[in-house]
Structures are given as structure tokens and as C-alpha cells.
Amino acid sequence: MSPNLDGQSVASVSRELGVSEGLLHKWKKARLESSSDLEKENLELKKRLKEVEIERDILKKAALIKGCGS
């Protein structure tokens, strides 16, 4: 279960919409294939930003535990 850009898993979105996970994956693939290069880059950058924010938050918590952060 990998989260999407909004942090929801495919499984939770499929339950919410009442469709199969496979159908969501097909929709996502079709959307990505029809996207422009700029749209694809924007999606990748948003994904990477989310990953970096999560990493930052982990490092902040580690620094607080060690007593190094403010």
C-alpha cells in the first residue's frame, strides 16, 4: 500500500470510491501517459518534496531526542 500525493493509500481511495484497486492503477497509468512532460515533472517533484519533508521531520525528531535541536 503506497501512499499517493495526498497521503492516502490506493486501498483506502478504492474503498472510498467503491472501485477496485486495479481500476485506480489503470486510471493513474492512463493519466500519466496522457500528461505533458511538464505535468509529469510536476508530479515527480511533488512526490519527491513529500519524501524530503518526511525525511526532514524524522531528522527533527531525532535531533530533539538527542537534545541537539530547538
pLDDT in tens, 5-55: 467 899 999 999 999 999 999 998 888 788 888 888 998 999 999 999 999
State residue 70's pLDDT score: 55
Looking at the structure, do residues 43 and 23 belong to the same domain, yes or no?
no
Domain region containing 70? 36-70
Looking at the structure, do residues 60 and 42 belong to the same domain, yes or no?
yes
Query: Is the pLDDT higher at 3 or at 64?
Result: 64
Looking at the structure, do residues 22 and 42 belong to the same domain, yes or no?
no
Looking at the structure, do residues 2 and 25 belong to the same domain, yes or no?
yes
Looking at the structure, do residues 29 and 54 belong to the same domain, yes or no?
no
pLDDT band at 1 (very low <50, low <70, confident <90, very high): very low
Looking at the structure, do residues 58 and 42 belong to the same domain, yes or no?
yes
Domain count, the chain: 2
Are the C-beta atoms of 11 and 19 separated by less than 8 Å? no
